A and B are shown apart, each in its own frame.
Chain A
Protein backbone atom coordinates (compact mmCIF):
# COMPACT_ATOMS: atom_id res chain seq x y z
CA UNK A 1 0.00 0.00 0.00
CA UNK A 2 2.74 2.43 0.97
CA UNK A 3 4.80 1.29 -1.97
CA UNK A 4 1.87 2.23 -4.17
CA UNK A 5 1.55 5.64 -2.51
CA UNK A 6 5.30 6.15 -2.76
CA UNK A 7 5.32 5.33 -6.47
CA UNK A 8 2.31 7.52 -7.12
CA UNK A 9 4.13 10.46 -5.54
CA UNK A 10 7.30 9.72 -7.51
CA UNK A 11 5.23 9.39 -10.65
CA UNK A 12 3.38 12.65 -10.06
CA UNK A 13 6.62 14.61 -9.70
CA UNK A 14 8.18 13.14 -12.84
CA UNK A 15 4.81 13.40 -14.59
CA UNK A 16 4.61 17.12 -13.80
CA UNK A 17 7.94 17.56 -15.59
CA UNK A 18 6.79 15.54 -18.61
CA UNK A 19 3.59 17.56 -18.69
CA UNK A 20 5.46 20.89 -18.74
CA UNK A 21 7.60 19.77 -21.67
CA UNK A 22 4.68 18.09 -23.46
CA UNK A 23 2.71 21.36 -23.49
CA UNK A 24 5.30 22.92 -25.81
CA UNK A 25 5.14 20.01 -28.26
CA UNK A 26 1.39 20.05 -28.32
CA UNK A 27 1.00 23.84 -28.67
CA UNK A 28 3.37 24.00 -31.63
CA UNK A 29 1.75 20.96 -33.22
CA UNK A 30 -1.69 22.47 -32.68
CA UNK A 31 -0.75 25.47 -34.79
CA UNK A 32 1.90 24.34 -37.27
CA UNK A 33 1.26 20.57 -37.45
CA UNK A 34 4.84 19.57 -37.04
CA UNK A 35 6.94 18.26 -34.19
CA UNK A 36 9.48 20.71 -32.86
CA UNK A 37 12.31 18.27 -32.21
CA UNK A 38 14.48 21.07 -30.80
CA UNK A 39 12.08 21.36 -27.88
CA UNK A 40 13.97 18.83 -25.73
CA UNK A 41 17.15 20.83 -26.26
CA UNK A 42 15.47 23.99 -25.06
CA UNK A 43 14.62 22.09 -21.88
CA UNK A 44 18.32 21.20 -21.57
CA UNK A 45 19.38 24.81 -22.11
CA UNK A 46 16.95 25.92 -19.41
CA UNK A 47 18.84 23.73 -16.98
CA UNK A 48 22.20 25.14 -18.12
CA UNK A 49 20.89 28.68 -17.83
CA UNK A 50 20.06 28.01 -14.19
CA UNK A 51 23.51 26.50 -13.70
CA UNK A 52 25.10 29.75 -14.88
CA UNK A 53 22.79 31.86 -12.76
CA UNK A 54 23.79 29.82 -9.70
CA UNK A 55 27.48 30.15 -10.60
CA UNK A 56 27.01 33.88 -11.15
CA UNK A 57 25.37 34.19 -7.74
CA UNK A 58 28.42 32.46 -6.23
CA UNK A 59 26.48 29.38 -5.13
CA UNK A 60 28.55 26.23 -4.67
CA UNK A 61 27.20 23.96 -7.42
CA UNK A 62 28.99 20.76 -6.37
CA UNK A 63 27.10 19.33 -3.45
CA UNK A 64 25.75 22.80 -2.72
CA UNK A 65 22.28 23.79 -1.64
CA UNK A 66 19.98 26.62 -2.67
CA UNK A 67 17.11 28.34 -0.97
CA UNK A 68 13.65 28.70 -2.44
CA UNK A 69 14.31 32.35 -3.29
CA UNK A 70 17.56 31.46 -5.06
CA UNK A 71 15.65 28.83 -7.00
CA UNK A 72 13.07 31.41 -8.05
CA UNK A 73 15.81 33.92 -8.94
CA UNK A 74 17.23 31.33 -11.35
CA UNK A 75 13.82 30.17 -12.59
CA UNK A 76 12.63 33.52 -13.94
CA UNK A 77 15.65 34.46 -16.14
CA UNK A 78 16.02 30.89 -17.36
CA UNK A 79 12.41 30.77 -18.45
CA UNK A 80 12.81 34.14 -20.17
CA UNK A 81 16.01 33.02 -21.91
CA UNK A 82 14.29 29.84 -23.12
CA UNK A 83 11.31 31.85 -24.35
CA UNK A 84 13.65 34.09 -26.35
CA UNK A 85 15.51 31.06 -27.69
CA UNK A 86 12.25 29.42 -28.79
CA UNK A 87 11.27 32.58 -30.66
CA UNK A 88 14.69 32.79 -32.34
CA UNK A 89 14.59 29.12 -33.40
CA UNK A 90 11.16 29.59 -34.92
CA UNK A 91 12.26 32.79 -36.66
CA UNK A 92 15.33 31.27 -38.31
CA UNK A 93 14.71 27.53 -38.55
CA UNK A 94 10.96 27.31 -39.22
CA UNK A 95 9.53 30.59 -40.48
CA UNK A 96 11.50 30.72 -43.76
CA UNK A 97 10.10 27.30 -44.74
CA UNK A 98 6.65 27.67 -43.22
CA UNK A 99 4.95 27.37 -46.60
CA UNK A 100 7.07 24.41 -47.59
CA UNK A 101 6.23 20.78 -46.93
CA UNK A 102 5.89 19.45 -43.41
CA UNK A 103 8.77 17.14 -44.14
CA UNK A 104 11.12 20.12 -44.59
CA UNK A 105 9.95 21.55 -41.28
CA UNK A 106 10.64 18.23 -39.60
CA UNK A 107 14.13 18.02 -41.09
CA UNK A 108 14.82 21.60 -40.05
CA UNK A 109 13.62 20.75 -36.53
CA UNK A 110 15.96 17.77 -36.35
CA UNK A 111 18.78 20.02 -37.55
CA UNK A 112 17.97 22.63 -34.92
CA UNK A 113 17.98 19.92 -32.26
CA UNK A 114 21.36 18.53 -33.32
CA UNK A 115 22.76 22.04 -33.59
CA UNK A 116 21.65 22.99 -30.07
CA UNK A 117 22.88 19.85 -28.32
CA UNK A 118 26.21 20.02 -30.16
CA UNK A 119 26.59 23.72 -29.47
CA UNK A 120 25.94 22.98 -25.78
CA UNK A 121 28.52 20.17 -25.81
CA UNK A 122 31.04 22.45 -27.51
CA UNK A 123 30.44 25.39 -25.20
CA UNK A 124 29.86 23.66 -21.88
CA UNK A 125 31.72 20.35 -22.33
CA UNK A 126 30.18 16.91 -22.63
CA UNK A 127 30.68 15.89 -19.02
CA UNK A 128 27.88 15.96 -16.49
CA UNK A 129 27.71 19.16 -14.49
CA UNK A 130 26.69 19.20 -10.84
CA UNK A 131 23.75 21.27 -9.71
CA UNK A 132 23.02 22.50 -6.21
CA UNK A 133 20.13 20.83 -4.46
CA UNK A 134 16.92 22.40 -3.33
CA UNK A 135 15.70 21.17 0.06
CA UNK A 136 18.65 18.75 0.14
CA UNK A 137 17.65 15.50 1.81
CA UNK A 138 14.56 16.93 3.49
CA UNK A 139 11.48 14.75 3.45
CA UNK A 140 8.36 13.88 5.36
CA UNK A 141 6.75 10.51 5.79
CA UNK A 142 3.24 9.26 5.31
CA UNK A 143 3.23 5.82 6.91
CA UNK A 144 6.28 4.20 5.40
CA UNK A 145 6.23 6.31 2.25
CA UNK A 146 8.83 9.07 2.18
CA UNK A 147 7.92 12.18 0.26
CA UNK A 148 10.78 14.56 -0.33
CA UNK A 149 10.33 18.30 -0.22
CA UNK A 150 11.81 18.64 -3.70
CA UNK A 151 9.23 16.23 -5.16
CA UNK A 152 6.50 18.26 -3.56
CA UNK A 153 8.07 21.48 -4.84
CA UNK A 154 8.37 20.12 -8.40
CA UNK A 155 4.74 19.09 -8.32
CA UNK A 156 3.58 22.42 -6.91
CA UNK A 157 5.61 24.53 -9.36
CA UNK A 158 4.40 22.38 -12.28
CA UNK A 159 0.80 22.73 -11.16
CA UNK A 160 1.11 26.49 -10.69
CA UNK A 161 2.62 26.92 -14.17
CA UNK A 162 -0.09 24.75 -15.71
CA UNK A 163 -2.85 26.68 -13.95
CA UNK A 164 -1.33 29.98 -15.12
CA UNK A 165 -1.13 28.62 -18.67
CA UNK A 166 -4.73 27.47 -18.48
CA UNK A 167 -5.91 30.91 -17.35
CA UNK A 168 -3.84 32.56 -20.07
CA UNK A 169 -5.14 30.32 -22.86
CA UNK A 170 -8.72 30.41 -21.65
CA UNK A 171 -9.19 34.03 -20.72
CA UNK A 172 -6.72 36.40 -22.37
CA UNK A 173 -7.10 37.84 -25.84
CA UNK A 174 -3.78 36.39 -27.00
CA UNK A 175 -4.67 33.01 -25.51
CA UNK A 176 -7.95 32.99 -27.41
CA UNK A 177 -6.13 34.04 -30.57
CA UNK A 178 -3.78 31.08 -30.15
CA UNK A 179 -6.78 28.77 -29.92
CA UNK A 180 -8.42 30.48 -32.89
CA UNK A 181 -5.31 30.02 -35.04
CA UNK A 182 -5.16 26.38 -33.96
CA UNK A 183 -8.81 25.96 -35.04
CA UNK A 184 -8.64 27.74 -38.40
CA UNK A 185 -5.62 29.73 -39.56
CA UNK A 186 -7.24 31.26 -42.62
CA UNK A 187 -10.28 32.45 -40.68
CA UNK A 188 -8.04 33.83 -37.91
CA UNK A 189 -5.98 35.87 -40.35
CA UNK A 190 -9.19 37.29 -41.81
CA UNK A 191 -10.01 38.61 -38.31
CA UNK A 192 -6.82 40.66 -38.37
CA UNK A 193 -4.90 38.24 -36.16
CA UNK A 194 -1.17 38.44 -36.87
CA UNK A 195 -0.10 34.83 -37.43
CA UNK A 196 3.61 35.55 -36.99
CA UNK A 197 2.97 37.13 -33.62
CA UNK A 198 0.75 34.27 -32.46
CA UNK A 199 3.31 31.69 -33.57
CA UNK A 200 6.12 33.55 -31.80
CA UNK A 201 4.03 33.71 -28.63
CA UNK A 202 3.33 29.99 -28.87
CA UNK A 203 7.02 29.19 -29.13
CA UNK A 204 7.85 31.59 -26.29
CA UNK A 205 5.33 30.03 -23.92
CA UNK A 206 6.14 26.42 -24.74
CA UNK A 207 9.88 27.06 -24.48
CA UNK A 208 9.57 28.91 -21.17
CA UNK A 209 7.69 25.94 -19.70
CA UNK A 210 10.32 23.52 -21.03
CA UNK A 211 13.00 25.73 -19.47
CA UNK A 212 11.23 25.56 -16.11
CA UNK A 213 11.12 21.78 -16.42
CA UNK A 214 14.85 21.73 -17.15
CA UNK A 215 15.75 23.67 -14.02
CA UNK A 216 13.53 21.54 -11.84
CA UNK A 217 15.05 18.34 -13.17
CA UNK A 218 18.48 19.88 -12.59
CA UNK A 219 17.88 20.58 -8.93
CA UNK A 220 15.94 17.32 -8.50
CA UNK A 221 18.71 15.03 -9.75
CA UNK A 222 21.53 17.52 -8.98
CA UNK A 223 23.12 16.95 -12.37
CA UNK A 224 22.77 18.22 -15.94
CA UNK A 225 24.41 17.32 -19.28
CA UNK A 226 24.09 18.51 -22.90
CA UNK A 227 22.21 15.45 -24.17
CA UNK A 228 19.67 15.37 -21.34
CA UNK A 229 17.04 16.75 -23.71
CA UNK A 230 16.99 13.61 -25.85
CA UNK A 231 15.18 11.03 -23.75
CA UNK A 232 13.18 13.62 -21.80
CA UNK A 233 12.03 15.14 -25.09
CA UNK A 234 10.93 11.79 -26.47
CA UNK A 235 9.09 10.93 -23.26
CA UNK A 236 7.30 14.27 -23.23
CA UNK A 237 6.44 13.89 -26.90
CA UNK A 238 5.00 10.47 -26.03
CA UNK A 239 2.98 12.13 -23.28
CA UNK A 240 1.64 14.72 -25.74
CA UNK A 241 0.54 11.95 -28.13
CA UNK A 242 -0.97 9.92 -25.29
CA UNK A 243 -3.06 12.91 -24.21
CA UNK A 244 -4.01 13.79 -27.79
CA UNK A 245 -1.52 15.91 -29.71
CA UNK A 246 -2.65 19.49 -30.24
CA UNK A 247 -4.69 19.47 -27.04
CA UNK A 248 -3.19 21.35 -24.06
CA UNK A 249 -5.13 19.70 -21.21
CA UNK A 250 -4.35 16.42 -23.00
CA UNK A 251 -0.61 17.13 -22.76
CA UNK A 252 -0.95 17.84 -19.04
CA UNK A 253 -2.93 14.65 -18.46
CA UNK A 254 -0.66 12.60 -20.71
CA UNK A 255 2.43 13.82 -18.87
CA UNK A 256 1.09 13.01 -15.43
CA UNK A 257 -0.21 9.61 -16.58
CA UNK A 258 3.06 8.72 -18.24
CA UNK A 259 4.98 9.64 -15.10
CA UNK A 260 2.74 7.49 -12.93
CA UNK A 261 2.72 4.53 -15.33
CA UNK A 262 6.48 4.63 -15.62
CA UNK A 263 6.96 4.83 -11.90
CA UNK A 264 4.49 2.03 -11.10
CA UNK A 265 5.92 -0.15 -13.86
CA UNK A 266 9.41 0.47 -12.57
CA UNK A 267 8.39 -0.57 -9.05
CA UNK A 268 6.12 -3.51 -9.75
CA UNK A 269 7.59 -5.00 -12.90
CA UNK A 270 11.20 -4.04 -13.34
CA UNK A 271 13.08 -0.80 -12.90
CA UNK A 272 15.28 -1.64 -15.88
CA UNK A 273 12.26 -1.89 -18.18
CA UNK A 274 10.79 1.40 -16.94
CA UNK A 275 11.17 3.19 -20.29
CA UNK A 276 9.99 0.17 -22.26
CA UNK A 277 6.86 -0.05 -20.10
CA UNK A 278 6.04 3.57 -20.84
CA UNK A 279 6.20 2.96 -24.58
CA UNK A 280 4.27 -0.31 -24.42
CA UNK A 281 1.49 1.56 -22.62
CA UNK A 282 1.61 4.23 -25.32
CA UNK A 283 1.27 1.65 -28.09
CA UNK A 284 -1.64 -0.07 -26.36
CA UNK A 285 -3.35 3.24 -25.63
CA UNK A 286 -3.00 4.40 -29.23
CA UNK A 287 -4.40 1.13 -30.55
CA UNK A 288 -7.48 1.69 -28.42
CA UNK A 289 -7.66 5.49 -28.91
CA UNK A 290 -5.74 6.50 -32.04
CA UNK A 291 -6.23 10.24 -31.42
CA UNK A 292 -5.11 10.08 -27.79
CA UNK A 293 -7.15 10.47 -24.63
CA UNK A 294 -8.50 13.99 -25.16
CA UNK A 295 -7.67 14.38 -28.83
CA UNK A 296 -10.36 14.62 -31.44
CA UNK A 297 -9.89 13.55 -35.01
CA UNK A 298 -9.50 16.47 -37.34
CA UNK A 299 -11.74 16.54 -40.33
Chain B
Protein backbone atom coordinates (compact mmCIF):
# COMPACT_ATOMS: atom_id res chain seq x y z
CA UNK B 1 0.00 0.00 0.00
CA UNK B 2 1.07 3.53 -0.56
CA UNK B 3 0.38 6.67 1.41
CA UNK B 4 1.17 9.88 -0.36
CA UNK B 5 0.62 13.60 -0.28
CA UNK B 6 0.49 15.30 -3.64
CA UNK B 7 1.21 19.01 -4.05
CA UNK B 8 -0.09 19.65 -0.57
CA UNK B 9 -0.49 23.17 0.81
CA UNK B 10 -1.89 24.02 4.19
CA UNK B 11 -1.82 26.87 6.64
CA UNK B 12 -3.15 28.48 9.75
CA UNK B 13 -5.07 31.65 8.89
CA UNK B 14 -2.98 33.65 6.46
CA UNK B 15 0.25 31.85 7.37
CA UNK B 16 1.13 29.11 4.93
CA UNK B 17 2.77 26.25 6.84
CA UNK B 18 3.19 23.87 3.90
CA UNK B 19 3.67 24.80 0.29
CA UNK B 20 3.33 22.39 -2.62
CA UNK B 21 4.68 19.40 -0.72
CA UNK B 22 4.75 15.94 -2.29
CA UNK B 23 5.91 12.93 -0.30
CA UNK B 24 5.12 9.24 -0.13
CA UNK B 25 5.62 6.13 1.94
CA UNK B 26 4.95 2.49 1.11
CA UNK B 27 4.16 -0.24 3.60
CA UNK B 28 7.34 -1.92 4.77
CA UNK B 29 9.56 1.12 4.36
CA UNK B 30 10.64 3.82 6.76
CA UNK B 31 10.73 7.41 5.64
CA UNK B 32 12.19 10.21 7.72
CA UNK B 33 11.04 13.80 7.55
CA UNK B 34 13.65 16.08 8.99
CA UNK B 35 13.80 19.81 9.40
CA UNK B 36 14.00 22.52 12.00
CA UNK B 37 11.36 24.02 14.22
CA UNK B 38 8.43 25.39 12.25
CA UNK B 39 9.47 23.69 9.02
CA UNK B 40 5.99 22.16 8.71
CA UNK B 41 6.80 18.57 9.69
CA UNK B 42 4.00 18.17 12.25
CA UNK B 43 1.59 20.05 10.01
CA UNK B 44 2.24 17.51 7.27
CA UNK B 45 1.35 14.61 9.58
CA UNK B 46 -1.72 16.44 10.87
CA UNK B 47 -2.90 17.06 7.31
CA UNK B 48 -2.55 13.36 6.51
CA UNK B 49 -4.65 12.50 9.59
CA UNK B 50 -7.28 15.10 8.75
CA UNK B 51 -6.89 17.13 11.92
CA UNK B 52 -5.48 20.15 10.10
CA UNK B 53 -7.41 21.21 6.99
CA UNK B 54 -5.50 21.37 3.73
CA UNK B 55 -5.87 24.32 1.40
CA UNK B 56 -4.97 22.48 -1.79
CA UNK B 57 -3.48 19.23 -2.96
CA UNK B 58 -4.38 15.69 -2.02
CA UNK B 59 -3.72 13.05 0.60
CA UNK B 60 -3.94 9.66 -1.08
CA UNK B 61 -4.11 6.15 0.25
CA UNK B 62 -3.44 3.74 -2.61
CA UNK B 63 -4.31 6.45 -5.09
CA UNK B 64 -7.62 7.33 -3.47
CA UNK B 65 -7.98 10.89 -2.20
CA UNK B 66 -8.85 10.70 1.50
CA UNK B 67 -8.43 14.37 2.35
CA UNK B 68 -12.18 14.96 2.70
CA UNK B 69 -12.65 12.18 5.23
CA UNK B 70 -13.10 13.04 8.93
CA UNK B 71 -10.07 12.21 11.11
CA UNK B 72 -11.63 9.25 12.91
CA UNK B 73 -12.37 7.58 9.56
CA UNK B 74 -8.81 8.16 8.37
CA UNK B 75 -7.60 6.53 11.59
CA UNK B 76 -9.84 3.55 10.83
CA UNK B 77 -8.24 3.17 7.40
CA UNK B 78 -5.08 2.05 9.16
CA UNK B 79 -3.22 5.32 9.59
CA UNK B 80 -2.02 5.77 13.15
CA UNK B 81 -0.35 8.96 14.30
CA UNK B 82 1.70 9.15 17.47
CA UNK B 83 1.34 12.86 18.16
CA UNK B 84 4.07 15.19 19.29
CA UNK B 85 4.28 15.70 23.03
CA UNK B 86 3.06 12.13 23.63
CA UNK B 87 -0.54 12.96 24.56
CA UNK B 88 -1.47 9.94 26.63
CA UNK B 89 -4.92 9.98 28.21
CA UNK B 90 -3.59 10.97 31.65
CA UNK B 91 -6.61 9.96 33.72
CA UNK B 92 -6.98 6.58 32.03
CA UNK B 93 -4.85 3.64 33.11
CA UNK B 94 -2.13 2.27 30.85
CA UNK B 95 -4.37 -0.65 29.95
CA UNK B 96 -7.30 1.66 29.17
CA UNK B 97 -5.03 3.78 26.97
CA UNK B 98 -4.11 0.64 25.03
CA UNK B 99 -7.79 -0.31 24.80
CA UNK B 100 -8.51 3.09 23.26
CA UNK B 101 -5.79 2.39 20.71
CA UNK B 102 -7.80 -0.69 19.75
CA UNK B 103 -11.08 1.25 19.81
CA UNK B 104 -12.33 -0.10 16.51
CA UNK B 105 -11.26 -3.68 17.15
CA UNK B 106 -14.32 -5.58 18.32
CA UNK B 107 -12.87 -9.07 18.21
CA UNK B 108 -11.71 -9.99 21.75
CA UNK B 109 -9.17 -12.54 20.52
CA UNK B 110 -7.57 -10.05 18.14
CA UNK B 111 -7.51 -7.49 20.94
CA UNK B 112 -5.72 -9.87 23.31
CA UNK B 113 -3.19 -10.74 20.63
CA UNK B 114 -2.46 -7.07 19.96
CA UNK B 115 -2.21 -6.39 23.69
CA UNK B 116 0.31 -9.20 24.05
CA UNK B 117 2.26 -7.72 21.14
CA UNK B 118 2.37 -4.26 22.76
CA UNK B 119 3.47 -5.74 26.10
CA UNK B 120 6.19 -7.75 24.33
CA UNK B 121 7.52 -4.61 22.66
CA UNK B 122 7.39 -2.65 25.90
CA UNK B 123 7.41 -4.95 28.95
CA UNK B 124 7.36 -1.83 31.14
CA UNK B 125 3.79 -1.16 30.01
CA UNK B 126 2.75 -4.53 31.37
CA UNK B 127 4.27 -3.71 34.76
CA UNK B 128 2.49 -0.37 34.81
CA UNK B 129 -0.81 -1.48 33.31
CA UNK B 130 -2.99 -0.49 36.28
CA UNK B 131 -1.40 2.93 36.75
CA UNK B 132 -2.82 6.17 35.43
CA UNK B 133 -0.92 7.15 32.31
CA UNK B 134 -0.44 10.65 33.73
CA UNK B 135 1.77 9.18 36.47
CA UNK B 136 4.25 7.57 34.07
CA UNK B 137 7.68 8.97 33.25
CA UNK B 138 8.19 10.69 29.90
CA UNK B 139 9.89 7.64 28.41
CA UNK B 140 7.13 5.32 29.60
CA UNK B 141 4.53 7.66 28.13
CA UNK B 142 6.33 7.58 24.79
CA UNK B 143 6.32 3.77 24.93
CA UNK B 144 2.63 3.89 25.76
CA UNK B 145 1.66 6.09 22.83
CA UNK B 146 3.64 3.97 20.39
CA UNK B 147 2.12 0.80 21.85
CA UNK B 148 -1.31 2.44 21.74
CA UNK B 149 -0.93 3.29 18.05
CA UNK B 150 0.20 -0.26 17.24
CA UNK B 151 -2.82 -1.79 19.01
CA UNK B 152 -4.93 -1.58 15.89
CA UNK B 153 -2.21 -3.05 13.66
CA UNK B 154 -1.95 0.03 11.45
CA UNK B 155 -0.62 -0.06 7.92
CA UNK B 156 1.08 3.28 8.44
CA UNK B 157 2.60 4.56 11.64
CA UNK B 158 3.29 8.29 11.74
CA UNK B 159 5.68 9.18 14.55
CA UNK B 160 5.97 12.83 15.48
CA UNK B 161 9.19 13.65 17.33
CA UNK B 162 9.41 10.49 19.42
CA UNK B 163 12.75 11.60 20.87
CA UNK B 164 11.53 14.99 22.07
CA UNK B 165 12.35 15.76 25.67
CA UNK B 166 13.64 12.29 26.52
CA UNK B 167 16.95 11.24 28.07
CA UNK B 168 19.45 9.84 25.52
CA UNK B 169 19.30 6.33 26.98
CA UNK B 170 15.49 6.33 26.70
CA UNK B 171 15.68 7.63 23.13
CA UNK B 172 18.00 4.76 22.28
CA UNK B 173 15.61 2.26 23.81
CA UNK B 174 12.65 3.67 21.87
CA UNK B 175 14.56 3.76 18.59
CA UNK B 176 15.67 0.17 19.13
CA UNK B 177 12.01 -0.77 19.22
CA UNK B 178 11.22 1.32 16.13
CA UNK B 179 14.16 -0.24 14.29
CA UNK B 180 12.78 -3.63 15.33
CA UNK B 181 9.40 -2.72 13.84
CA UNK B 182 11.10 -1.75 10.60
CA UNK B 183 12.69 -5.20 10.39
CA UNK B 184 9.88 -7.41 11.64
CA UNK B 185 6.64 -5.84 10.51
CA UNK B 186 5.07 -4.66 7.30
CA UNK B 187 4.02 -1.31 8.71
CA UNK B 188 5.09 1.78 6.79
CA UNK B 189 6.74 4.27 9.13
CA UNK B 190 6.86 8.01 8.63
CA UNK B 191 9.28 9.39 11.16
CA UNK B 192 9.29 13.11 11.85
CA UNK B 193 12.40 14.09 13.80
CA UNK B 194 14.57 17.04 14.68
CA UNK B 195 17.23 14.53 15.64
CA UNK B 196 18.20 13.84 12.03
CA UNK B 197 21.11 11.52 12.79
CA UNK B 198 19.03 9.01 14.71
CA UNK B 199 16.11 9.24 12.28
CA UNK B 200 18.27 8.64 9.23
CA UNK B 201 20.02 5.75 10.99
CA UNK B 202 16.85 3.66 10.75
CA UNK B 203 15.10 5.19 7.74
CA UNK B 204 15.60 4.09 4.17
CA UNK B 205 14.76 7.46 2.65
CA UNK B 206 14.23 10.95 3.87
CA UNK B 207 12.78 14.32 3.03
CA UNK B 208 14.19 17.60 4.29
CA UNK B 209 11.58 20.26 4.92
CA UNK B 210 12.43 23.91 5.19
CA UNK B 211 9.93 26.74 5.50
CA UNK B 212 7.10 24.47 4.48
CA UNK B 213 8.70 23.09 1.33
CA UNK B 214 10.65 19.94 0.47
CA UNK B 215 14.19 21.05 -0.32
CA UNK B 216 15.81 17.61 -0.46
CA UNK B 217 14.52 14.14 -1.20
CA UNK B 218 17.04 11.32 -1.16
CA UNK B 219 18.10 8.02 0.37
CA UNK B 220 19.15 8.07 4.00
CA UNK B 221 22.83 7.48 3.12
CA UNK B 222 22.82 10.31 0.64
CA UNK B 223 21.23 12.65 3.17
CA UNK B 224 23.64 11.60 5.91
CA UNK B 225 26.58 12.50 3.70
CA UNK B 226 25.04 15.67 2.32
CA UNK B 227 27.02 18.68 3.47
CA UNK B 228 24.00 20.91 3.88
CA UNK B 229 22.13 18.33 5.94
CA UNK B 230 25.22 17.69 8.04
CA UNK B 231 25.71 21.34 8.72
CA UNK B 232 22.12 22.20 9.45
CA UNK B 233 20.69 19.13 11.15
CA UNK B 234 23.41 16.84 12.35
CA UNK B 235 25.88 19.33 13.61
CA UNK B 236 28.93 17.80 11.97
Contacts and interface: CB of A to CB of B under 8 A. Distances in A.
Contacts of A189: 51, 71-72, 75
B87 A186 contact: yes
A188 B100 contact: yes
A60 interface: no
A3 B89 CA distance: 46
Contacts of A194: 70, 72
A183 B152 CA distance: 20
Interface string B2-40: 000000000000000000000000000000000000000
Given A173-B103, A177-B103, A192-B103, A186 B92 contact: no
B83 A186 contact: yes
A191 B103 contact: yes
Contact of A192 (B83, B90, B152): B152
A193 B103 contact: yes
B72 A183 contact: no
Contacts of B89: 179-180, 183-184, 187-188
A195 interface: yes
B71 A177 contact: no
Contact of B92 (A179, A192, A193): A179
Interface residues of B, number: 25
Residue among A182, A192, A194 with max Cβ neighbours from chain B (10 Å): A192
B139 interface: no
Interface in B103-128: 103-104
A200 B148 CA distance: 25
Given A173-B99, A176-B99, A187-B83, A192 B72 contact: yes
Contacts of B71: 189-190
Interface in A161-183: 173, 176-177, 179-180, 182-183
B75 A191 contact: yes
B96 interface: yes
A183 to B, nearest CB: 4
Contacts of B87: 184, 186-187
Contacts of A190: 49, 51, 71, 75, 80-81, 83
A261 B187 CA distance: 59
A193 B100 contact: yes
A193 B103 CA distance: 7
Interface in B40-99: 49, 51, 70-73, 75-76, 80-81, 83, 87-92, 96, 99
Interface string A185-213: 01111111111000000000000000000
Nearest to A170: B96
Interface of A: 173, 176-177, 179-180, 182-184, 186-195
13 contacts: A173-B103, A177-B100, A179-B92, A183-B92, A188-B100, A190-B49, A190-B80, A191-B72, A191-B75, A191-B101, A191-B103, A193-B103, A195-B72
Give the top 6 A-B pairs by smallest Cβ distance, nearest first.
Answer: A192-B75, A183-B89, A187-B87, A192-B76, A189-B71, A192-B104
